[in-house]
Amino acid sequence: MSDLIKLLTVIFSLFWNKSKSNKWEKFDSNQRNFFSLWAETEKIGKSHFIYDKEFYDDILFNHLENINLDKRRNNDEIFDYIKKSEKLKINPCIFISPLTKPDNLKTSLTKIGFKKSDKILVMKNKNNNFKYDTKFKLKDVNQNNLEEWITCYMKSFEITEKFRSKLSNIINNIYQNKKNKFFLSILDNNIVGCLILFSENKIGGIYCVGTNPEYRNMGVASFILNHTIKYSKQIGNTDTILQTLASDQLEIFYKKKQFNIEYYIDVYLKE
């Protein structure tokens, strides 16, 4: 009987790990496909190289991910990526998730001058049972007022005006993609917060959560998150996720909004 229990435990563990891996692949795919709308993409072997020369110092728009390297030539593919990055004058950056292969890639990267610089927390929402201030309102985003969303985004992330034209082109293209839902929150007719929900394969990915600096610490993010989670469920998404850099120190905030950590993505930069 004990041998049967052990066998059943092993089978269950294999099934559970496979199920979890499949779910995480969908989470990774959501992130990759969303940022592919912002930047150029290129395949290097089976891995994905995402890059944007103008935002060269932003790791979200410049990195190698979805890494599944051939053990016999994994260094060749990494060196190929390094050459391409340096030619574009982008600092090589590699994302390593639990799905990354081979398992010893971190050791290999360290040997050729990479160092862990940060980590990304991939978090999944449990529910929207958290408090938010009802003094805020949602404003419908359409083609006519999309520039208001862009302005809020630029203020929230302190992006200078020299990038407005480029951002306007990117955001207008993203807006045309029906997988994206844009959110704006207002207070007394003033634009105070922004967000995008990218839905694909029944996964809703929350991105670009921004608050106008003049209205921070007033509950803007809580309000817009709550309504986004509700909307994500209404359109049939089975999971609603977001990502945040550990260095941004928002883990506690998102946990209070009923988000739990699913897994980490280690960020490696070449020194």
Q: What is the pLDDT of residues 23-58, one digit of tens each?
A: 999 999 999 999 999 999 999 988 999 999 999 889
Question: Residue 14 — pLDDT band, cuts 50, 70, 90?
Answer: very low
The pLDDT score that the predictor gives to residue 72 is 64
Are the beta carbons of 155 and 148 closer than 8 angstroms? no
Looking up tokens 């294999």 gives: 14
Assess whether pLDDT exceeds 70 at residue 20: yes
- Proportion of the chain in helix, strand, coil states, percent, rounded to 5: 45, 30, 25
The closest of 230, 239, 205 to 19, measured between CA atoms, is 239
Mean pLDDT within 183-194 = 97
Which residues have a Cβ under 8 Å from the Cβ of 76 and sit 6 or more positions away?
A: none
